[in-house]
Amino acid sequence: MKKIEAIVRKEKFQEVYDILADSGIGGMTVTPAQGFGHHRNGLKDKMKIEIYADEFQVDKVLEMIRKVARTGATGDGKIAVLPLDNIIRIRTGEDGASAI
């Protein structure tokens, strides 16, 4: 299992959300964020998307985000893929892939 964290432009968020929501992923968490990159041109409004995914979903999710969020200009954002040891659904107690 992996955790995918994507920071995208606020104005591209709806497109990213739409393609991910239609893709069949288990769910996502979205948080407004602010940040700057190495150009240090001030804080910019962004959206942070967090997704828990099975290994077989990761490449598909990354490609969808890259395809829709990219403008080619500085500030398009970042995607991080992190290892996920376990996940537990609080309501049912399920863990692992079945909790996604």
**pLDDT below 50 — which residues of the chain?**
none
Q: Which residues contact 60 (CB under 8 A, 6 or more apart)?
A: 23
* pTM more than 0.85: yes
**Structural domain for 95, as ranges:** 2-99
End-to-end CA distance of the chain: 9
* Distance (Å, whole) CA 60 – CA 58: 5
Q: Do residues 88 and 99 lie in contact, with contact meaning Cβ atoms separated by under 8 Å?
A: yes
> How many domains does the chain contain in total?
1
Which of 62, 92, 68 minimizes the C-alpha distance to 2? 62
Q: What is the pLDDT of residues 41-66, one digit of tens each?
A: 889 999 999 999 999 999 999 999 99
CATH of residue 72's domain is 3.30.70.120
State the chain's mean pLDDT as an integer.
Answer: 94
Q: Give the C-alpha separation, 47 to 43, whole Å.
A: 13
